[in-house]
């Protein structure tokens, strides 16, 4: 049943799927239930209310769809846009690339703004495009908040500012897959029209739930959007929301209870504390990378990601070997470099329900692996740099004071 | 965490989601894993091979999609058909109705063949449509093998025969949601082109996996099908099948291990024994209904379903009360009557990992509930009728002989 | 891993170990913890307080010992008595016999009062022994509240009355293994000095915790009791109670959390409702037995047990075959006849977290099994009799009204 | 339900209870079963056979007792000795002290050989005692293989040699609680007569099973041993072994399946590889301690323990603060100093199912905690020293090569 057992815990540091906290595993350890009994709508009601909090929205309408992030993307696009619509989209890494591929296949007219992998979205280009677009041919701006392949976080507040400065009515669609519930994300404040994430990321659950949250403007757009959609159609949900039964098709009972617990844990810790913890672990990781004498794939500090760090290896090393070696020798799961940066970077996910000592164990493992593949790292150097920072910044666990 | 706790086990007799066997619950009780490690493809390979067995196909290509039955429908349709294509579809109950609704919204030209709810698909009409269709304007026949709302099983072998008799090239698309792995289903023998089911039905797992299996002819059709699709596109899977990594997007680690165990249990019992068990429990249920003096919603024996029985209640009773009462007093979950038969039928699901005494407990409960709602049933009568049959037909458990 | 898998649920109707509710299984699904951290004493404190409630005592001191019922017996005896002490003990079935065997091996002078198996403790004999014992040579009365082998419940109130009537200072030691938390048991009101049970009985947990509760008089007796004891010594516990760390040796973290949830469920249902539920299921079972034309091993109504029914089979049937057959054909686990009643009775445990439909499923199964072994039962007859009673007496589930 | 939740994993580094591997947690995630069905004896048979392997005995008889280590001690003593028997016992720390306390309370004439805490058993004294004991008044030598309070491992081979050299027939009783299945232990080769351990130690399970293994000589001694015993009496087991039903009282079904998996994992890794892993982690820990400039409580290298390291802190630090701080700030569970070494040492358990990166995470945590309590450790120094060693000695995981 466990195809490749190794002693001790697996150290899971891919940027998703991430570690599930024990209480969530426990909550999902259950038989099926009739989702048409009064129990499930009662539970669902609390979930929908609380999901809004992690998007920091009071006006948005959340949809919890039995799908992955890819499906959530499709739901965001097809409910708000029509074939042929012009959209501006930023290509900065593998996941933005995949989203753009989807946008094109769904028939939109995608105005791709490409950056080097390791750079953030080029918002200067956006500014000029908006400036030029007097007749509002641009129907939507599509942007990943955090590009998981390169560890780049885009500045969403600036996007909103540009839209406002140009008084541009384009919809603002955000992939928050590796950001929401881990990075500072403010749907209402930033005027995001559709934001989305997946359960296996910062919510620290199994894969299987796509979370899509729509602003009133997005809901309005949905009324005239002519993209063909059925499974991903918000209207089917809205119909059942009105009925108070919530589910147009069978939800996963296990994930519902798991989500309840995942949210409870997040609120117990405090969403802002969760975000601060990610900031702390992200910074600690970057300090380690620096101490190792390696470069961050992310080219400027303003784009540093607090959920994933893509580490550039020297040319004489194949980063895939780092990942392979970690898994084979130390039960350590690191992220591969994807596409353009395959072989060039490995990724440390520091995302989800994770603490300081888990990260330090991972960093110690990376050091040993780097040695294995021929990079002359000073053992303990990265751990020391990270620990120096963490030791000054980690708060006491509130429930244990 | 348990919103409406009641003592003892919940008696889950809705026709999905169904009871999950303990070994499957156990197998899913785990943390996430990196799905890009060598372990997950190795596991996936065995799953894809074994899933073919439950479709009884050697030539089909299975897709395991993180979605529900509704999504599986969409995948079957959009990969094989183009907008405007004429399809023949049979409306015989709520689920065939919903599928037809989807077909229409996806832009197909649906030739709806309607029957009374409680009757099977009208294959005479199909015969004449095929006969008339000399120029093969009909691109596909869409049919539910088992209509879950009314407990009606259609005869797929006859559909195939009609197609063959008329030498008609239409694709043969089958919703096997409440049949595959429980009723006799033979993809290859019956020349089914796309068949589909969901994890929460006869496979006795949580919701979250849609299984779609495509014949070589369906794969061929996919090359020219012009329906827009991305999340549900088979090509994305086929690309990763070739790479040997299998997953275009993050699968649920928990469901993969759960599926491995679910299949192991089915093969340990023997797929034909599983089907025989469903036949036995279905027959027992119908004998109970008869003993109670009630009518089966299914109007002819040839359509009787071995996975769900829709029971008609006398006009002076609201069948929703039966369901409500079962849940409130006896921790019994029965299926509601849906749409046209709302208030008129309640449903007993006898689907999935279930045994004789579970069913008899349910039947005893239904008797008490019927009394509660004012129907003068003789207590024990249905149980006696069912037990008389089961007592003659239930084999010893092979592992315990 | 599952040595003898059979489809569907196992129907567990032995009088222990009994069915564990899902929330308890979930609560125990966890890693170990440091039992010396502040968390475990905090949890333990609530457990000790709440365990007193199920003994219905405010003055007693509970001990939760990592052992079974046999160990709990030993703890009760060795902490309160000295070798050579005269004790009166009632032999009415296999478990009282085993306790007496232990009493003798521990060196007590056991005055055995024997009854036919199927009868309760002969309290008339007790009365005369107490009357004769002017010099109080009797140091303790040892009695099982409910003899699990024969389904006989003794009248503890009468025992107390006799002790009071004779102003006799003997300790009153009660085996409540198959009674406490299921039958009406009142430690304080009945002046019980030591009462005990095990986790795998009415508390519906795994085996592994022996619960022993000592009255102030028992604690006083412990000071002078000269029986050798270490592992079972209450003093070791009392020392740690004072320190506030509670555990003289490592407890099972899993069982602690399991007990927390088990108690929560019992209090949610209401202890008196739990007891009423057992009374209801016990009565229903006896009505079924009667309807089958079989005899209860228990010879008088006053001794009928609401947690287990021992059913006498006709001489031409081997009751072990009933049990074997139930397991082999219907995944039904019934209790064997033990020792003197081996081959003569089979037992239906209706103990712990169980509801009406589970019981009716079991009864339906027993009917089919009886047929299998050659007893001409009318199928449905027992179920009907039980259901008629249950249908009139089962309340709505409070959380679902 | 989780009294003091903190984000991320708990880092459990007490020397018991230790981390349970996920597959074992899964295996125990189950309902109760009838332990009198054929399934449980079949399972038990494999367990008893396999338990012998972890004791490295072919001639011993294992007993799996529902108890803790304290109970296992009592079982070892009371089955082989009679009150008043002279036994030689070594006091070298808290756990040997507790065992000696038990020996005295059980009425043996204990000849205590005391050493400083931090030293091993004084075997020179044993040699002279054996030399003087011409008439064999010494009935047993009782020794802990590994003193968990101080991290001292005694040399059992030498004990055997001394007994052989003096041709002394004393029984050789070994507490292997924190050694068996982690340190090199050879029951047959070293002529150990009774060896014992507990489930929550190197077997990496929950607390609840005491394992006692008796040599043929010990079984022979049991025939004449006059210590009073019932619950811990081997005879009750032997009786049921003969019957093939194995259990004199109800076992924990969950622990049986858990043990099956725990043993499977140990054999998959290879017992000798498990022991080598402990040696590796022990050495790494000691190198870290050295790098921190701290002293090991264990005074000589020959006694260094590979399952637990007791670290001496400078006089100006209270070691309890180290433990408290680790738990409150970093979700790290370290072992307290007990009794004589309270406040002076903290303990790092490196016992059970644990791997390199878990240990390095712990060591990084200890460094930060040491800083917190005022010890000027160089962050990363211990991790570096440990990693340097591990990086040279850790083998690839065999299943992943």
Place of tokens 């003997």: C170
Mean pLDDT of B193-199: 98
With an 8 Å Cβ cutoff, is D31 touching chain B?
Answer: yes
pLDDT for the residue numbered D238: 98
DSSP secondary structure string for all residues of B28-90:
H-S----TTSTHHHHHHHHHHHHHHHHTT-SS-EEEEESS-HHHHHHHHHHTT--TT-EEEEE
pLDDT in tens, D172-186: 999 999 999 999 999
Q: Are C66 and C252 in contact (CB under 8 A)?
A: yes
Chains with ≥3 CB–CB distances under 8 Å to C: A, B, D
B296: left (phi over 0), alpha (psi -120 to 50) or beta: beta
Report pLDDT for A4.
79
Decide: D366 and D323 in contact? Cβ < 8 Å. no
pLDDT at D201 over 60: yes
Using pLDDT thresholds of 50, 70 and 90, give the confidence band for residue D276. very high
The chain B residue lying nearest C23, using CA atoms, is B2
Query: At CA D306, angle to CA D303 and CA D312, rounded to 5?
Result: 65
D53-84 per-position pLDDT tens digit: 999 999 999 999 999 999 999 999 999 999 99
Q: Sorting pLDDT into bands at 50, 70 and 90, what band is D4?
A: confident
Euclidean distance between CA atoms C116 and C112, whole angstroms: 13
Does the distance separating the beta carbons of D12 and C70 come in below 8 Å?
A: no
Q: Does the beta-carbon distance from B29 to D29 stay under 8 Å?
A: yes
Note the pLDDT of residue B258.
Answer: 98
pLDDT of A134 reads: 96
Query: Scanning the structure block, which residue is given the tokens 């033979």?
Result: B186
Contact D202, D352 (CB under 8 A): yes
Q: Name the DSSP class of C383.
A: H
What share of chain D in percent tops pLDDT 90?
98
User: Does the beta-carbon distance from D25 to B29 stay under 8 Å?
Assistant: yes
Residue in chain A lying closest to C22 (CA):
A30
Measured CA to CA, the distance from residue A75 to residue A173 in angstroms comes to 11
Q: Does B30 touch chain D (CB under 8 A)?
A: yes
Q: How far is CA D260 from CA C2, C3, C149, D40, in A?
A: 11, 11, 30, 12
Give B307-354 pLDDT, tens digit per residue: 999 999 999 999 999 999 999 999 999 999 999 999 999 999 999 999
Cβ density class B46-57: b for 16+ within 10 Å, e for less: ebeebbbebbbb
Q: For residue B296, list its beta bridge partners.
A: B311
Residues 164..223 of A with a Cβ closer than 8 Å to D: which?
A: none
Judge whether residue A393 has pLDDT over 80. yes
| Alpha carbons A13 and A19: distance in angstroms, whole number | 8
Task: State whether A391 and D383 contact (CB < 8 Å).
Answer: no
Question: What residue of B is the nearest CA neighbor of D30?
Answer: B22
- Rounded CA-CA distance B113/B99 in Å is 13
Of all residues in chain A, what percent carry a pLDDT higher than 70? 99
Among candidates C390, C358, C370, C351, which has minimal Cα distance to C293? C370
Q: Which two tokens stand for residue C209?
A: 């915790």
pTM for the full predicted model: 0.98
The residue ranges of chain C whose pLDDT is under 70 are 1-3
Asked if D292 and D369 count as a contact pair (C-beta separation under 8 A), the reply is no
Model pLDDT, residue C2: 64
pLDDT at A3: 67
Average pLDDT over residues B239-254: 97
The answer to whether D32 contacts chain B (CB < 8 Å) is: no
Q: What is the mean pLDDT of residues A303-323?
A: 98
Count CA within 13 A, CB hemisphere, residue D348. 33
**In DSSP terms, which residues pair with D64 in a beta bridge?**
D211
Using a CB–CB cutoff of 8 Å, tell me whether D251 touches chain C.
yes
* Cβ-contact D329, A397 below 8 angstroms: yes
Give the model confidence (pLDDT) of B355-397 as tens digits.
999 999 999 999 999 999 999 999 999 999 999 999 999 999 9
Q: Classify the phi-psi angles of B184: left when phi > 0, otherwise alpha if psi is within -120 to 50, otherwise beta.
A: beta
Distance CA B173, CA B175 (A): 7
Structure confidence at residue A223 (pLDDT) = 98
Quick check: C292 and C309 in contact, CB under 8 A?
no
Number of Cα atoms under 13 Å in the Cβ half of residue C92? 25
Contact check, Cβ <8 Å, D360/A383: yes
Instruction: Judge whether B143 and B121 are in contact, CB under 8 Å.
Output: yes
Q: List the 286-305 stretch of D: residues with Cβ below 8 A of A.
A: none
Q: Is the pLDDT assigned to residue A2 strictly greater than 80?
A: no
- The CA distance from C251 to the nearest CA of chain D, in Å, is 6
pLDDT in tens, D18-56: 999 999 999 999 999 999 999 999 999 999 999 999 999
Query: Is D347 a known ligand-binding residue?
Result: yes
Give B2's pLDDT tier (boundaries 50, 70, 90). low
How far apart CA B15 and CA A55 sit, in angstroms, is 35
Query: What's the confidence (pLDDT) of residue A5?
Result: 84
Neighbors of chain D by Cβ distance (3+ pairs < 8 Å): A, B, C
Q: What angle do CA A211, A216, A217 make, to 5 degrees?
A: 105
Please give the share of chain A, as a percent, with pLDDT higher than 90. Answer: 98
Q: Which residues of D touch A362 (CB under 8 A)?
A: 357, 361
- The pLDDT, as a whole number, for residue D2 is 65
Please state, as a whole number, how many other Cβ atoms lie within 10 Å of the Cβ of residue D389: 20
Q: Which residues of A touch D380 (CB under 8 A)?
A: 380-381, 383-385, 387
Q: What share of chain A is helix, strand, coil (3-state, %, to 5)?
A: 45, 15, 40
Residue D5 is predicted with a pLDDT of 85
- Contacts with D274 from chain A: Cβ below 8 Å: 7
Least CB–CB distance from B26: residue in D26, D38, D400 = D26
CA distance A83 to A46: 36
Three-class DSSP category at D91: strand
Q: What is the mean pLDDT of residues A255-269?
A: 97
Q: DSSP letters along D16-85, please?
A: SS-PPPHHHHHHH-S----TTSTHHHHHHHHHHHHHHHHTT-SS-EEEEESS-HHHHHHHHHHTT--TT-
Calculate how close chain A gets to B102, using CA atoms only, in Å.
6
3-state secondary structure C69-133: HHHHHHHHHHCCCCCCCEEEEEECCHHHHHHHHHHHHCCCEEEEEECCECECCCHHHHHHHHHHC
Q: Can you tell me the ipTM of this complex?
A: 0.97
Residue C134 per-residue DSSP state: T
Check residue C61 and report its DSSP letter. Answer: E
User: Among the listed ranges B1-15, B232-246, C190-204, which one has the minimum average pLDDT value?
Assistant: B1-15
């Amino acid at each position: 049943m466990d195809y490749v057992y190794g002693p001790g815990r697996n150290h899971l540091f891919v940027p998703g799927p991430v570690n599930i906290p024990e209480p969530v595993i426990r909550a999902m350890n259950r038989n099926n239930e009739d989702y048409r009994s009064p129990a499930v709508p009662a539970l669902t009601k609390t979930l929908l209310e609380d999901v809004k909090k992690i998007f920091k929205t009071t006006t948005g309408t959340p949809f919890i769809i039995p799908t992955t992030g890819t499906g959530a993307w499709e739901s965001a696009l097809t409910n708000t846009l029509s074939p042929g619509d012009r959209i501006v989209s930023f290509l900065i890494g593998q996941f933005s690339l995949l989203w753009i591929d989807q946008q094109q296949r769904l028939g939109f007219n995608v105005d791709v703004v490409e950056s080097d992998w390791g750079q953030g979205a080029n918002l200067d280009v956006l500014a000029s495009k908006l400036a030029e677009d007097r007749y509002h041919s641009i129907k939507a701006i599509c942007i990943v908040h955090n590009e998981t392949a390169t560890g780049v976080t885009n500045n969403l507040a600036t996007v909103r500012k540009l839209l406002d400065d140009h008084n541009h009515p384009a919809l603002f669609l955000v992939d928050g897959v590796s950001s929401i519930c881990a990075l500072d994300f403010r749907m209402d404040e930033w005027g995001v029209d559709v934001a989305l994430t997946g359960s296996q990321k910062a919510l620290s659950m199994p894969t299987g739930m796509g979370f899509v949250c729509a602003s009133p403007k997005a809901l309005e757009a949905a009324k005239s959007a002519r993209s063909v959609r059925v499974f991903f159609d918000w209207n089917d949900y809205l119909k059942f929301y009105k009925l108070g039964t919530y589910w147009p098709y069978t939800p996963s009972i296990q994930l519902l209870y798991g989500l309840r617990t995942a949210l409870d844990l997040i609120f117990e810790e405090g969403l802002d504390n969760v975000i601060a913890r990610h900031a702390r672990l992200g910074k600690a990781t970057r300090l380690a990378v620096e101490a190792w004498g390696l470069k961050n794939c992310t080219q400027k500090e303003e784009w540093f990601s607090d959920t994933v760090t893509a580490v550039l290896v020297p040319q004489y090393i194949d980063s895939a070997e780092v990942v392979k070696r970690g898994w084979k020798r130390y039960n350590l799961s690191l992220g591969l470099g994807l596409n353009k940066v395959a072989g060039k970077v490995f990724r440390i996910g520091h995302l989800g329900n994770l603490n300081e000592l888990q990260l330090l164990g991972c960093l110690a493992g990376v050091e040993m692996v780097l040695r294995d593949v021929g990079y002359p790292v000073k053992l303990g150097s990265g751990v020391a740099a990270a620990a120096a920072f963490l030791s000054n910044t980690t708060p006491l666990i509130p429930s244990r004071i």
